[in-house]
Amino acid sequence: MFDKLKAKWKVGPFQLLLILFTFAIGGSLTGWVGRKILLQLSIDYAALRLVTYLIIITLCWPLMVILVSIPFGQFPFFRNYLSRLGRRISGKATRSRVEDNPSNMSTFTDTSLTRVAIFASGAGSNARKIIEYFQGHPQIIIALVVCNKPGAGVLNIAADFSIPVLTIEKERFFRGDAYLPDLQKAGIGFIVLAGFLWKIPSALITAYSGHMLNIHPALLPKYGGKGMYGNFVHEAVIAAGEKESGITIHLVDGEYDHGGTLFQATCEVVPDDTPATLARRIHELEHLHFAPVIEKTILSLPGVNR
């Protein structure tokens, strides 16, 4: 049971212990507070007392666990847990499901939706913006997050939104079937690379030709290619004394940062910029433009219902 929880919540044994303590103490506190409030209300009818008690503990429980999670250092986990729970209750998550077993991802029914996979290796701030943008979209659904890095921030984001995750490993990706059967089984019609650091194998390039986008944090064709990612890009831009940088959204082909450019946006590089300050400005551009460009690209594909 503990192994199942560890896998489900993607946490280690120590964090699992802290989470279980938080649940236990939060639950006991909720019961205690519920009884105190009930005493103050002095309700005579047993049935009404029970209903009132249930309402009180339902309302108090999230507050208690979130309070207890703070000293245990589990606030981020419980914030995500409760927001997921809230979304599930309010029915917003009905179009997506958590899947720990990618082989079950084939259960999809609405063929009028274009199912998108986001490939990411890192924090996933772009993935979050994209997922938020397409929540409830009538034609496009973010159906899968593909990640090559255990512990990457993007995994928490996928969990937040109950999006299935496919964790991939090198051998099969580069020397096996590149997970193409899994993507096909999950009905993936479009791939978005959002900070994905591995080169895409030719099997996927061919299968998703014209159906795969990447975002690069500079104005290609400058500052692209192998090894040009993250702060390496911004360092190079600053070192070259550029007055301007920006983002490039482009189709993916067999070379790093190479396929046809679909969109660029620029920002200033100021004299005292560091890679970190420039990265912040670039991220703002990415968060603003990436999702709408993805939407426009998918909706212009032949065969997509508009």
Q: Residue 160 contacts by C-beta under 8 Å, 6 or more apart in sequence? A: 80, 83, 84, 128
Just list the catalytic residues.
216
Binding site for ligand GRF (CB under 6 A): 120, 122-127, 194-195, 215-217, 282, 286
Find the residue with minimal CB distance to ligand GRF.
Answer: 195
Beta strand pairing call for 114-120 and 140-147: parallel
SS3 156: helix
We find the least distance from the C-beta atom of residue 113 to ligand GRF, in angstroms, to be 23
- Interatomic CA distance for residues 156 and 168, integer angstroms: 16
Min. distance of Cβ 127 from ligand GRF in angstroms? 6
Between 113 and 291, name the residue whose CB sits nearer to ligand GRF: 291
Question: Cβ 200 to ligand GRF, closest distance in Å?
Answer: 13
**How far is residue 77's CA from residue 232's CA, in Å, rounded to a whole number?**
31
How many residues are recorded in the chain?
306
Minimal distance, residue 43 CB to ligand GRF, in Å: 52
User: By C-alpha distance, which of 95, 96, 84, 156 is closest to 120?
Assistant: 156
Q: Which is nearer to ligand GRF, 33 or 236 (CB)?
A: 236
User: 3-class SS at 228?
Assistant: coil
125 or 148: whose CB is closer to ligand GRF? 125
* Cβ nearer to ligand GRF, comparing 64 with 233: 233
